[in-house]
Amino acid sequence: MNCFDPNSTPEPGKPVLLVVAVALVDVDGRVLLAQRPEGKSLAGLWEFPGGKVHEGESPEYALVRELREELGIETAGSCLAPFTFASHSYESFHLLMPLYVCRVWEGTPRPLEGQKLAWARPNDMGQYPMPPADKPLVAMLRDLL
């Protein structure tokens, strides 16, 4: 496909939402995915753990906090390697989502917010329906891992 498609340029005027996410990679090269619970937007889709950056937070601080809240694991900013980002226009906002890679943490990820968890090999991630913003990220992870 030709990249020069004028319709692919998002319209101005939507708020930009900053969300941080992480590919937690285990010793076998598998990546942790979490299924968005019922009642949330994009419910049922599989995502990288993470969430919104709150006012006054750095992206790394927000991600360490989200991993503690959602999965009960501890990591540190220095264990978060910037990898790539998603920039995707949803109906009511534009998502800007840095994706980090993390291989070092303490504890075992547990589903503390009622979400399902799965360790997926990059080549198997096609079996996990993900939000549209995540598709290019999965392709890049396949190349990395």
60 binds ligand 8DG (CB under 6 A): no
| Contacted entry of Mg ion, ligand 8DG, none for residue 131, CB cut-off 5 to 8 Å set by kind | ligand 8DG
* Tokens linked to 96: 């800007």
CA distances from 81 to 14, 22, 84, 91, 99 (A): 29, 9, 10, 30, 9
Residues between 11 and 70 that touch Mg ion (CB under 5 A): 51
72 binds Mg ion (CB under 5 A): no
* Tokens linked to 95: 């998502």
How many whole angstroms separate alpha carbon 81 and alpha carbon 23? 10
122 binds ligand 8DG (CB under 6 A): no
> Residue 136 is which amino acid?
P
Residues between 21 and 50 that touch ligand 8DG (CB under 6 A): 21, 41-42, 47-48, 50
Q: Contacting ligand 8DG (CB under 6 A), which of 95, 101, 138, 141?
A: 95
How many whole angstroms separate alpha carbon 118 and alpha carbon 116? 7
> Helix (H, G, I), strand (E, B), or coil: what is residue 22?
strand
Which residues here bind ligand 8DG, judged by CB under 6 A?
19, 21, 41-42, 47-48, 50-52, 66, 95, 131, 133-134
**Residue numbers at the binding site for Mg ion (CB under 5 A):** 51
